Amino acid sequence: MRRLLFMLAALLWWGGAEAQDVILLRNADEVKAEVREITDSHILYTLWGGSDKVLSLPRAEVFSVTYQNGEKELFVGDDSGATGPVTAADYPWPRVTKSYRPGDLFDEDGIRGIVISTTDNGRHGLILSLELAPKSLRWSADSSWATDLLLGLSDREDGWNNRRRLIKRLAEGKLTWEDFPAFEWCESLGPGWYLPAVDELRGLWQLCGEAEGFEKFGNKESYRFSRRISELSESYGGDKLSVWTDSRFWWSSTERKDNVAQIVDFGMPLQTRLVNVYAYRSDRNHVRTKTWQQFVEAGWEKTGKWPVRAVHKF
């Protein structure tokens, strides 16, 4: 029987929600759970927030288990009867020697970036790349094969899971990294860097001030928060952001449908006032009244060009 890597202390994620173990299945589904025991053939667990009934999963169906402290155990190399190509590797966690706060420079183990959110008393969190893609990039190439294809990149909270699912599709041999320029650029930064999921950058707004608390959020506030990110980036030797597009709208890795992916509107995170905006071409309409949140949720055609920044976990 394998040693159970079970954490006794309940750790807190950023934002105050209690952490849980996450079981990632080979079919890309996730189970939020409390792992009770790992045997030679099964993983025993209880559902997080559910009953105390102990459930069981064959190890052959499990890709990995991420524990409450961020440690991950992979089962891709198991002699557990799993079939099909194994294309994802364990996450390359950098060595961390101290605690961090949002806004700090993370510079350890060859990884440098702006800390934008933390967990576990600052020992884990998310880093924003100091580099900005040199030009706006397409989410996917301007071809029907790469564009009108639902890849299953549906995770809103963890872009690494979306990357893993993309790698699985690339392993089929019909697509390449060149078909997905935004993802390819993030890969070029090195191991562990990836295109963030749509909700993964929420910490940026708190980093620049409680933007979510504003009932009115106009160009003045948008410029102030964009300037804050730009100043941090420049102070650490990173790329400067332009006042408008580079700091307002960034690609996320989260799909909405076959030809549409979601963008992150950092400049106006939760604006509620109604505005007239031109609907996206994928909607086949002209002008529609929407809130800014609806504007972002509608997504953008994958062949559209938007700025790209990568993130890295620690």
What is the tens place of the pLDDT at every residue in 49-89?
A: 888 889 988 887 787 788 888 777 777 544 443 333 333 34
Yes or no: say if 7 and 34 are a contact pair by the CB < 8 Å rule.
no
Query: Helix (H) and strand (E) counts for the chain?
Result: 7, 17
Q: How many CB atoms lie within 10 A of CB 154?
A: 14
Confidence of residue 185 (pLDDT cuts 50, 70, 90): very high
Listed range (67-71, 111-115, 264-268, 275-279) with the worst mean pLDDT: 275-279
For the ranges 23-32, 54-63, 111-120, the maximum mean pLDDT occurs at 111-120
* Residue that the structure tokens 């990568």 belong to: 310
Q: Is the pLDDT of residue 248 over 70?
A: no
Residue of 214 and 200 predicted with greater confidence: 200
Residue percentage of the chain with pLDDT more than 70 = 70
Q: Is the pLDDT of residue 251 over 90?
A: yes
* Residue that the structure tokens 């990110």 belong to: 229
Q: Please tell me what DSSP assigns to residue 96.
A: -
What was the pLDDT predicted at 290?
A: 53
C-alpha gyration radius of the chain: 20
What was the pLDDT predicted at 137?
A: 94
Give every CB contact of residue 80 below 8 A, 6+ residues apart in sequence: 41, 58, 59, 60
Strands (E), the chain: 21-25, 30-38, 42-47, 55-58, 62-66, 72-74, 105-108, 111-119, 124-129, 137-138, 249-257, 260-265, 274-278, 287-291, 300-301, 305-306, 311-313
- Average pLDDT on 123-127 reads 93
Q: How many CB atoms lie within 10 A of CB 264?
A: 24
Residue of 307 and 78 predicted with greater confidence: 307
What was the pLDDT predicted at 70?
A: 77
The one-letter code for the residue type at 2 is R
226 φ, ψ to 5°?
-65, -40
Residue of 203 and 267 predicted with greater confidence: 203
Distance CA 51, CA 68 (A): 19
The dihedral region occupied by 77, where left means phi > 0, alpha psi between -120 and 50, and beta the remainder, is alpha
For the ranges 29-33, 220-224, 291-295, the maximum mean pLDDT occurs at 29-33
Helix, strand, or coil here: 265? strand
pTM, whole model, 2 decimals? 0.65
